[in-house]
Amino acid sequence: MGTTEDSPPVLSVVIPALDEAAGIAACLERLVGQPEIDEIVVVDNGSTDRTRDIVAELADRHPKITLIDEPQRGVAHARNAGFAKARGDYLGRIDADTLVGPDWGATVRAHLDANPDTMAVTGISTYHDSPIGFFLAAAIGGQQRLGLIKNQPVGNVHGANMAIRRSAWEKVRSATTTRRDLHEDLDLALCLTKAKLRIDQLPPLRAEISARRRQTPPATWWRYQVRGLQTIANQGYTVVPFHRAVITGAWVMHTSQWPIYRAWDFDRKRFSLRPMRPRVSPVGD
């Protein structure tokens, strides 16, 4: 859409946002200085805080930023509206609390430019506000040293750190769901897989995300994990014991860490005895 024979592909980044005043400025500041990123589309999904004002102020200073509204609630609706508005041949997708690495745009562009058979890419994410985030970073580093995390085809994408070719999106768009009780990023990955469109995992595609959702109570988190199985079934795949084992392991890990996060004040970056209001997963809220 944004390219001619004499110009390189356009890279757009789409950011769904709902009440993200606390972190949206930091998210955008990581993007605007990267020359490889041509356009940033923020899709406000009905914020009641200062999200829109903050984005509008930044857009006045940075022509790359465009703010649009999507009144129909749901990450998938916001993502779709952003992809429709964006002019990019490559469509990045991150969350409003994501802090991308300084070479994020260059990594996306270089890989998709050099690998025409790759239709989507997804990266490695750690936490930028977790009191125990170093454990995740250490685990990822260890897996990389063992060769378990490498540049390779995968079957899923992380919605907070990914990009897709517009041509691939147009092929699968009608097959994707906008149901709010399902995982929109897993759903997209399943649609790409069914269409035999390749997804590559790129270890250099680094981003830091917020750990706020780790304050979600275990019972609520279990329902969130189960919706992953429902997403798989909704696309016609059979849910197998391996899938159940994965979500059970993820829930056990979450539950073991929940008391730590429950006592963590994300705003002040310190532990607090004051009960915190959990930032629960957006799926189905």
For residues 224, 200, 65 and 34, what is the CA-based torsion angle, rounded to 10 degrees?
130
Looking at residue 51, what is its pLDDT? Answer: 98
**Could you read off the pLDDT of 137-181 as tens digits, one per residue?**
999 999 999 999 999 999 999 999 999 999 999 999 999 999 999
CATH class of 11-210: alpha beta
Asked if 198 and 168 touch (Cβ cutoff 8 Å), the reply is no
User: What are the residue ranges spanned by the domains of the chain?
Assistant: 11-210, 214-271
Q: How many whole angstroms separate alpha carbon 176 and alpha carbon 246?
A: 23
pTM over 0.85: yes
Distance separating alpha carbons of residues 214 and 98, to the nearest angstrom: 15
CB distance 43 to 79 below 8 Å: yes
Q: Which token pair is 57?
A: 């102020």
Low-confidence ranges of the chain (pLDDT < 50): 280-285
DSSP state of 67: E
Copy the structure tokens of residue 197: 């469109």
Q: Which of 172, 178, 174, 176 is nearest to 197 (CA)?
A: 172
Q: What local confidence, expressed as pLDDT, does residue 285 receive?
A: 45
